[in-house]
Structure 1
Amino acid sequence: MVAAWVLVALALLMALACGVAVHRLARRPRARREPARVPPSPPGRAARGR
């Protein structure tokens, strides 16, 4: 019985950790990429170099 509870606890912790990691990775890269992409576009230098 103890092993079952331990497995359940680990499963819940892993699910929570995965959920938090997914939200963090989904939110941070988008916030960083959008501002990074917007400034280079108006000057046009980045577009020409690429």
Structure 2
Amino acid sequence: MRSSPAPAPGPTPQGFRYTCRGEGNRDAFLGREEITADGEVVYWLQYAGGFIG
């Protein structure tokens, strides 16, 4: 998987930054997304998943 700064690349005028970093493939993956404000983490989520079938 790739790291993505979407949906808001770089800092916004309000000082927020969104990052999402993941690894793996469709069979098994995991990652973490974060929102920071002025360098401090204000939200984070860890995720994991994979192909079921």
- TM-score category, normalised to shorter length: under 0.3
Q: Give the TM-score normalised by structure 1.
A: 0.21
Q: Give the TM-score normalised by structure 2.
A: 0.20
